[in-house]
Amino acid sequence: MATLTNAELDALSFGYLQGSDLTMFSSYTVMIKQWETSNTKLQNGCTTAYQEVTNMFLTKYDVQRELNAISGTREAAFVKFVAITALKNILGNMAGEGSITEANFLWHDEMLNKIREGVDNFSLYPPASPYYESSARLYPQNFRWLG
C-alpha cells in the first residue's frame, strides 16, 4: 500500500471531520501509520465517533445539524471533541503516542466529566423536537373525581 503525504492526509474527508482535524490533535506520523495499517481505519474511527456524540447529546443538541455543517461554520470546541473521540477510536486509547495526543486525551476525559456534570461549553442548536418532552396535553374538563 502506498504511503500518504502530509498534504494528502490533510485533504482526506471523513464527513464532518477532515484529515487536518485529526492531525491538529495528533501527529502526521501516527495518523499515516494508522492509515497504512488499514485505509478504512480513519473513516471507521470517525463514523463511530459521530454515532457516539449523537447518542451522548441526543436530548441536548441538534448534533445532526452540526455534523452536516460545512467546514467554515463548524463549532470549534465541538470539532475538537469529535476529533479526539475519533482519535480514541482509531488509536484505541494507545498511550505513548506523543505528548500532544496524551494531552488531548486528558482534555477529552475532562470534557466527558464536565458533560456528565451538565457543564459543557458547546454552542450548538437545541434539538428540533426534544425527545425528553412529552407532546401530551392535559385538559381539566376530561378529569372526573372518583369517590
Query: Which region among 6-15, 26-35, 67-76, 130-139 has the lowest average model confidence (pLDDT)?
Result: 130-139
Q: Which residues of 68-96 are buried (b: 16+ CB within 10 A; e: fewer)?
A: eeeeeebbeebbbbbbbbbbbbbbeeeee
pLDDT at 76 over 70: yes
Q: Considering the chain, what is the average pLDDT of its residues?
A: 83
If 0-12 CB within 10 Å is exposed, 13-18 middle and 19+ buried, where does residue 19 land?
A: buried
Contact yes or no for 90/41 (Cβ under 8 A):
yes
Give the per-residue pLDDT at 92. Answer: 83
pLDDT at 67 over 70: yes
Contact yes or no for 87/25 (Cβ under 8 A):
yes
Here the cell at position 38 is: 488499514
Give the per-residue pLDDT at 71. Answer: 74
Give the per-residue pLDDT at 98. Answer: 66
If pLDDT is split at 50, 70 and 90, which confidence band does 68 have?
very high
If pLDDT is split at 50, 70 and 90, which confidence band does 44 have?
very high
Query: Which region among 9-13, 37-41, 101-105, 127-131 has the lowest average model confidence (pLDDT)?
Result: 127-131
pLDDT at 145 over 80: no
Which stretches of 4-143 are assigned E, i.e. beta strand?
Answer: 13-14, 17-18
Q: How far apart are CA 22 and CA 91, in angstroms?
A: 11
Gyration radius of the chain's alpha carbons: 20
Here the cell at position 85 is: 473521540
Give pLDDT tens digits for 102-144. Answer: 888 888 889 888 888 878 778 888 887 655 554 555 455 555 5
Mapped onto helix, strand or coil, the DSSP state of residue 119 is coil
Q: How far is CA 67 from CA 33, 70, 78, in A?
A: 26, 8, 10
